[in-house]
């Protein structure tokens, strides 16, 4: 039988081997005991007859050595366990000499010694830069959000929220992570402009600097479809079509044709000019489409203008 230190008088520890409740190193034989229960507050190795250190061995089969630190009620614990035998290697983690500060974590210093050092924690926060579309108010609508550092794991996707001008938060009802730069989110929002906030599963979050999500109504027509009037040949013409929105509206002729000499002012919806080119009574048919400043497109509406060549050749009829 092998012993550490001096050989004890008996391979079985007895009360006479204990001095003041402490089993001294000279009394411990490698094979003398299987379990030692320590009731004191500390385990101290003060002897020099053997190499200092505490070794927790595996079971020789499938369980690796493990150090367990219990809570005060012994209901929760932190475990430090050896790498498995299949790893084929071991290493030593060496604690730093100093004390860390707020915001620092323990990490290896990047060398083969596995020296732990206090380093500043690196927070990878998402950034939010753009949203794909303007959405209608009070209707659940999906948009694509672009940015950087969007993250997900096997069970969680980012939390996505719309933040109003009053700092009220509305969470997206559906979120789908596509990549580190793209997320799809479904919102049902009241009329207004919103910043967008994204929170990754690890708690890091970022919010757009400006309001990039708009909940807005598309332009709707005030001017009825149909005839804008009958005008004499070579007469001066001025008619206005109007569509309303919660932002400025511009107009475009998207099909058909105007009478000769007549054009559309895109910023105002005024159709004007002096008619030229007709030789007989002619009805001109065209469609105009409104678009607001938030790039929402209203329905195209069809209008007509008739140029008349009467017996007297004059007059405007509305």
pTM of the model: 0.51
Q: How many Cα atoms sit within 13 Å of 171 on the Cβ side?
A: 7
Residue 117 and residue 96 share a domain: yes
Residue 21 is assigned to a structural domain of this protein: no
pLDDT of 318 reads 53
Confidence of residue 44 (pLDDT cuts 50, 70, 90): low
Domain count, the chain: 3
Which residues are registered as beta bridge partners of 169? 163
Confidence of residue 23 (pLDDT cuts 50, 70, 90): low
Q: What is the C-alpha to C-alpha distance for residues 223 and 68, in angstroms, rounded to an integer? A: 79
Q: Does pLDDT of 20 surpass 60? A: no
Q: Over range 229-245, report the average pLDDT.
A: 96
pLDDT of 132 reads 93
Q: What percent of the chain has pLDDT over 90?
A: 53
Q: Over range 297-306, report the average pLDDT.
A: 96
Class of residue 207 by CB neighbours under 10 A (exposed 0-12, middle 13-18, buried 19+): middle
Q: What is the pLDDT of residues 172-231, one digit of tens each?
A: 999 999 999 999 999 999 999 999 999 999 889 999 999 999 999 889 999 999 999 999
Asked which of 195, 215, 235 is the last residue of a domain, the reply is 215
Asked which of 186, 215, 244 is the last residue of a domain, the reply is 215
Residue 307 and residue 225 share a domain: yes
Domain CATH for 295: 2.60.40.10
Q: What percent of the chain has pLDDT over 70?
A: 79
Q: What is the pLDDT of residues 91-140, one digit of tens each?
A: 788 888 888 888 788 887 666 567 888 887 777 899 999 999 889 899 99
Look up the domain containing 171 and give its range: 127-215
Confidence of residue 31 (pLDDT cuts 50, 70, 90): very low
Residue 131 and residue 197 share a domain: yes
* CA diameter of the chain: 142
CB 145 within 8 A of CB 112: no
Residue 230 and residue 144 share a domain: no
């Amino acid at each position: 039988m092998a012993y550490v230190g001096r050989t004890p008088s008996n391979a079985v520890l007895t009360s006479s081997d204990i001095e003041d409740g402490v089993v001294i190193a000279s009394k411990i034989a490698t094979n003398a005991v299987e379990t030692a229960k320590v009731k004191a507050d500390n385990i101290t190795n003060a002897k020099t007859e053997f190499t200092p250190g505490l070794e927790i061995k595996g079971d020789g089969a499938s369980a690796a050595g493990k150090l367990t630190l219990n809570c005060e009620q012994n209901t929760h614990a932190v475990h430090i366990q050896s790498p498995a035998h299949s790893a084929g290697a071991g290493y030593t983690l060496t604690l730093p000499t100093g004390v860390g500060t707020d915001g620092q974590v323990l990490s290896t210093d990047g060398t083969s010694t596995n020296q732990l050092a206090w380093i500043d924690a690196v927070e990878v926060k998402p950034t939010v830069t753009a949203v794909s579309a303007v959405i209608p108010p009070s209707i659940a609508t999906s948009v694509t959000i672009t940015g950087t550092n969007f993250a997900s794991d096997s069970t969680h996707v980012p939390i996505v929220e719309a933040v109003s001008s009053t700092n009220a938060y509305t969470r997206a009802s559906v979120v789908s992570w596509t990549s580190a730069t793209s997320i799809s989110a479904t919102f049902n929002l009241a009329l207004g402009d919103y910043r967008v906030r994204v929170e990754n599963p690890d708690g890091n979050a970022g919010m757009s600097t400006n309001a990039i999500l708009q909940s807005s109504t598309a332009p709707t027509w005030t001017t009825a479809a149909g005839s804008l009037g009958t005008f004499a040949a070579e007469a001066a013409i001025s008619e206005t079509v109007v569509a309303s929105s919660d932002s400025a509206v511009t107009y475009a002729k998207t099909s058909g044709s105007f009478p000769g000499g007549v054009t559309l002012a895109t910023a105002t919806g005024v159709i004007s000019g002096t008619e030229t080119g007709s030789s007989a009574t002619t009805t001109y048919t065209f469609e105009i489409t409104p678009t607001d400043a938030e790039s929402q497109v209203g329905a195209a509406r069809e209008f007509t203008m008739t140029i008349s060549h009467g017996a007297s050749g004059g007059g405007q009829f509305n």
